[in-house]
Amino acid sequence: TNIGGFGLAFIFNGKLPGKTVMLRAELDALPIDEVNDFDYKSKKKNISHKCGHDGHMTILSGVASLIPTNRLFEGKIILLFQPAEETGKGAFNVINDKKFITLKPDYVFALHNIPGFPLGSIVTNDNIFSSSSKGMIAELKGKTSHAAFPEHGISPAFAMASIISELKKISKNKSLFTRFVLITIIHASLGEEAFGTTPGNARIMATLRSFEENDMIKLTQKAEKIVKNTAQKYSLGYDISYTDKFLATYNNKKCVEFIKNATLQNNYQLIDTKEPFRWSEDFSYFTKNYSGAMFGLGAGEGTPDLHNSNYDFPDDLIEHGVNMFMSILKILSNIETKQ
């Protein structure tokens, strides 16, 4: 218990030594108010499961209920319920927790429901599954004045507007980067709500995304240069910090083959994506340190997007997820169903 914060790990030991296989599900919800109207809607204001982690936990719980009814001949199975995926801190904290370090998994697997794909389909990529990202916070520091004498202050208003405009242009310059990059402005604030005072500070928050690590380095350098040069142009102080850091999730080709074999065993539709997903996943910290792979469960072509206020996890996916995980375990852990 309390692995990496609030994480839980359930361990099933086989009769003989063998491979250790870890399956992961996420615990955390999102700061989004639920607009759906059904019996199981969130009871907490501005907190709800709008990424389907409740469904992922149910799938892993289903696996846990089936393992005791099967004979585990060798190895070890770890079912990890991981906290704080949405902030990018959960997997990192788990991996660095002494209680987890001793488990030493040979293979790690995770799934995520993905709206926009046929319901129950299995979505794979044998290289990069999802992009890297991080949150950039740029603070501009000027000087307030009476609103009747703006010339006596140093307002960051025009600098803020210029930085926002220039940041958006970076990712449009395709010649600078190898593959996909994106900067998304997600928040901006200026001064205080006081009509008698000019603003003395500003804050800009943006998410930086890329498929390739070298592109993320370039993107970061370009963004920082814009903030620095603009702040100096308007005689402002500045500070840049980062949060919510996610690596790109690299899938191990051998582990992707296990996923494909499990898909065939269950007669599910297999979809190989040509490009990584633009969103990020902190399962990347697991696949960086252990052999592993992540796959998608098609959540339906008409299902609202993840993080949408009216999204709801399709319960029909629970059986598909359980079957996929159980098939992977049978392939890797020599589990045979009791006859």
CA distance 255 to 235: 54
> Does the pLDDT of residue 337 top 60, yes or no?
no
Number of domains in the chain: 2
CA distance 317 to 250: 24
CA 311 to chain centroid, in Å, comes to: 17
Mean of pLDDT values over 267-278: 96
Q: Strands of 74-82's sheet, edge to edge?
A: 8-13, 74-82, 16-26, 107-114, 291-298, 122-124, 270-272
**Residue 335 — pLDDT band, cuts 50, 70, 90?**
low
In a domain, 177, yes or no: yes
| Chain position carrying tokens 């980062």 | 242
- pLDDT of amino acid 88: 86
In a domain, 48, yes or no: yes
Question: For the domain that residue 193 is a member of, what is the CATH number?
Answer: 3.30.70.360
In a domain, 1, yes or no: no
Among 245, 280, 313, the domain-final residue is 245
Question: For the domain that residue 51 is a member of, what is the CATH number?
Answer: 3.40.630.10
In a domain, 3, yes or no: no
In a domain, 21, yes or no: yes
Domain shared by 123 and 267, yes or no? yes
Domain shared by 279 and 195, yes or no? no
Among 194, 216, 245, the domain-final residue is 245
pTM of the full structure? 0.92
- State percent of the chain over pLDDT 90: 85
In a domain, 2, yes or no: no
Domain shared by 63 and 144, yes or no? no
Domain shared by 117 and 154, yes or no? no
Domain shared by 140 and 234, yes or no? yes
Listed range (66-75, 182-191, 232-241, 268-277) with the worst mean pLDDT: 66-75
- State percent of the chain over pLDDT 70: 98
Domain shared by 78 and 224, yes or no? no
In a domain, 281, yes or no: yes
Domain shared by 157 and 223, yes or no? yes
Arithmetic mean of pLDDT over the chain:
95
CA distance 279 to 246: 10
Domain shared by 238 and 223, yes or no? yes
Domain shared by 108 and 160, yes or no? no
- pLDDT of amino acid 43: 87
Domain shared by 118 and 258, yes or no? yes
Structural domain including 219 reads 132-245
Domain shared by 113 and 253, yes or no? yes
Among 245, 275, 290, the domain-final residue is 245
Domain shared by 266 and 316, yes or no? yes
CA distance 314 to 312: 6
Q: Is 164 exposed, middle or buried (0-12, 13-18, 19+ CB in 10 A)?
A: middle
Q: The tokens of 134 are what? A: 């991080």
pLDDT digits (tens, 9 = 90+) for 39-48: 888 888 888 8
